[in-house]
Every structure is written in C-alpha cells, then in structure tokens.
Amino acid sequence: MKQIRAEITGIRYKPFLCRTLDTFSISSLQIALASHASFVLNVGDEGSVAISWWVSAKRTRSYPYMRVYDTLAFPGKKVTVIPIFKDEGVEGDRDFLQWDTISLMSLLGVYVIIAFYVDAERSSHYECKITKQRFDSRYLQKTIEDILSYQSDPLHWNIAQVESVGAICQRALESYAILSAKLSVPMHSAASASKRIEELLKGKDNFMKLSRGLAQKAQFREGHTMQPKESLRGQKAILTIKNYLGGYYYFTADEAWVEGNDLYLVEGKHTASSNLPAMGDIKDGLVKMILFSNLQNTEIDTCRYNPIAVLKLTSGKNVALQSLTVKEDEILEGLKQEASYNQFRIILNDTFLV
C-alpha cells in the first residue's frame, strides 16, 4: 500500500462537460430544489448564482460531486447546499458533514451553505424511515442573498460558516425531533447526536479535529477495500493532500504506479453492462482529476515524483470505439478535450486515449 503525500496551492482547471443549467427565480427556489440537482438562481437586481445541493452530507451518496461539477463553468458565484446531517430514521442511514468536504469546496471556489432539513414524508416502503426531505427555503434564500453581497472569497465564507456548525446541528436535531413526532417515525439516537453537537459548539478547531480523525479512518478502510464495481489491476494508494493553509484532505487513488520519475494516480470508474460508465460516475471522477492534476511536491517516502492524473473507464463489455453510440462518442470526445486541456490522461479499458 503506497502512502503518497502532496500539496495543492491553487486550482487551475477548465471543465468541458458541464450540462446547461436551467434558470429559476428566487421565488421558485423550492421548486428548483425538488426538480434539479444543479441550477442557476436569479436573485433579481442582486444577480445570479449557480446552485447545487447534496442529498446527504456523505460524498458517496447521490453523486454530489457531479452536482457541483455541473456548476463549475458558471461565470459568477457558485454555491452548494450541504445538510449538516441527514437522518433517514432508524431503518435508514445517518450521515454527518465533515470538515474535509468543506475544505474541498473551498479549493474548487464554491461557497458552502451548511443547511438542515425541516420537512419530509414517511416512506411507503419502510415503516421506520423517512424520505423526500426538504430544506428550509427561507433560510437558504437569506443565506444566498448574503453570499451575493459577500465581498471575500469562498474560503473565508466557508470558514465563517464552520463557526456556526454547532448551532446549525442543534437546529437540525430539533427539526428531526419534530418530524419524528409528526410522522411517527423514530430517529437515530438523539443522545449520540447531542454528544457530537457538544463538540461542535466548541468551535471550528474541534470540528476540524473530529472530522480529521473520521476522515483518516475512512481513508484507511477505503484504501484496503476493493469494490466489486471496480475493474482495476494496480495497487491502491493512500493520498494525503495538504493545502496552503495547512489543512489536509484524505483520499485514495484506485491505482498508483511509478515509471521512472512519473507517478501515475488513477481514479477508476466501471460499468458492467454499458460501453461507458454513467455520467454521474464520470463527473465524480473528473472532480478527482481537478485535484490530481493540480498536485505539487508529490512524494513517496521523501522521494519526489511528477504526478500524472489518470481517469480510467472500464466496461464489462468488449468495447470498440466504432461501436459507441453518437451520444457516447460525444461524451468521449468531450472527455478527451477536457483531458488534453487540463493535462490528465484517459484510459478506456486498457488503452490510453489521451
């Protein structure tokens, strides 16, 4: 298991596969959230922002990176809404927001709104689970307006947001207590959530410390686990990235190998039955390419290497380029253009395309 350390001092990247975003007025915010993962919000004379939102605070659910990626080509301010935590009821999951997620959004130049759910419906499939959770749109509207008038960059906004995570988490817990009574669905332990809130109320440093420990454990687990959907041959690697403020991001590379002075860092996406992986998976991989293609001072055991970012797409089918549909060919051409411009590489099964 390779352990790689690197730094990022800034991000330079141009996306090519962002979808065209629909535009909504601020009065239609709840409609936009119910129907679109990413969209442009027109706030009248104050301007417009590109909005994405996370279903859960966990970055492996519902393709949140794809949602954020689709806003990156927008020329104005980009905002993503992330629940401080999401409780689906005792038969579902409960996920908490981590510091490294906010740090990553800062790197990407995205303003974070740490939010909470205030409404939901009882699941028709599970007795003790809720679904279709909805944010407090008035809270979001006010915060979006604050962002439009905010004069500093996303990093400073996001750090200021973190100072209020304890209070926001408390509001979320209170909201879930109301929803539990309203829908007659028991939630996860309020006592364990309250313990976390006590730590968060101590401020940003405690949030960072708590998140860092959890992120390191998750990185270790992921680094030692091969998912069934991955079609990979190389060795996984643990990748710890330091930013210019001394913060750390904990990732894994699905494959890593050294050729001379070059260190190849691979993010793999697989499909069992299609020619290409789903667009959500591809865009998730592209967010990793944004990071991997901006690494500096990349080292293994004090030996420095030239990092080469690679997006590896694999299929259970024996894919020939001439067998691609028109749409798949367009996607692949866009990927090749994005890779060439941003200086990362693409593998389709075992063949380098860029």
* 222: in domain: no
Residues 211, 231 within the same domain: no
Please give the C-alpha separations between residue 44 and each of 27, 145, 158, in angstroms, as whole numbers.
Answer: 10, 10, 24
Select from 193, 216, 239 the last residue of a domain: 216
| Strand 48-53 to 351-352 pairing | unpaired
Residues 240, 342 within the same domain: yes
Select from 216, 242, 268 the last residue of a domain: 216
Residues 231, 191 within the same domain: no
More confident residue, 163 or 183: 183
Residue pLDDT, tens place only, 268-319: 999 988 889 999 999 999 999 999 999 999 999 999 999 999 999 998 877 7
Which of 38, 119, 48, 49 has the alpha carbon at shortest distance from 78? 49
> Rounded to an integer, what is the distance from CA 282 to the centroid of its chain?
13
* 180: in domain: yes
Residues 190, 317 within the same domain: no
| Strand 48-53 to 85-87 pairing | unpaired
pTM (two decimals): 0.90
Residue pLDDT, tens place only, 171-224: 999 999 999 999 999 999 888 888 777 776 666 676 666 655 565 565 555 555
Report the alpha-carbon distance of residue 254 to residue 265 in Å, rounded: 8
Residues 80, 188 within the same domain: yes
Residues 85, 53 within the same domain: yes
Residues 233, 330 within the same domain: yes
Residues 239, 199 within the same domain: no
Residues 235, 321 within the same domain: yes
Select from 216, 239, 255 the last residue of a domain: 216
48 in Cβ contact with 40 (< 8 Å): yes
Residues 205, 249 within the same domain: no
Judged against a pLDDT cut of 50, whether residue 95 lies above it is answered with yes
The number of folded domains in the chain is 2
What's the domain range around 313?
A: 227-352
Spell out where 29-128 has E strands.
38-42, 48-53, 77-83, 85-87, 94-96, 110-115, 117-122
CATH of the domain at 246: 3.40.1350
